[in-house]
Amino acid sequence: MLAILLAGCGGQSSSAQRANDKLDALEATIATQYETAATPYNNYLQKATQRYIVLVRRYADQIGPKEARQRLVSEGDSVASFCPPCAGDLRDEARRY
């Protein structure tokens, strides 16, 4: 019984962990699939950026404003050379937090 109680101490809530897992998965997708496919002829990165913004908005209460802002700025920095408008959207969204 004590082990069960201690296992929950100090960790993230399950909803915050779920939010982080979903954001991490989309970040990995952007890094591997979309950045290599980013060309002027497709909009994969723009769509992924909008999905990322929607996820951050959805889970901002669970991850907190500081984490939401940090994730948006970091992701904006990582896509800036592939899609400057995407980076701008992410940075604009980060200003909300």
The model's pLDDT over 36-47, given as tens digits with 9 standing for 90+, comes to 665 666 788 889
In a domain, 83, yes or no: yes
In a domain, 3, yes or no: no
Q: What is the pLDDT of residue 83?
A: 87
Structural domain range at position 29: 13-94
Angle at alpha carbon of residue 26, lines to 9 and 55, rounded to 5°: 70
Q: What is the pTM of this model?
A: 0.77
Torsion of CA 39, 43, 44, 48, to 10 degrees: 130
Q: What is the pLDDT of residues 54-69, one digit of tens each?
A: 999 999 999 999 999 9
In a domain, 74, yes or no: yes
pLDDT bucket at 76, cuts 50 / 70 / 90: very high
Which has more pLDDT, 40 or 92?
92
In a domain, 30, yes or no: yes
Question: On the CB side of 47, how many CA atoms lie within 13 Å of its CA?
Answer: 8
In a domain, 63, yes or no: yes
Q: What is the pLDDT of residue 81?
A: 87
SS3 25: helix
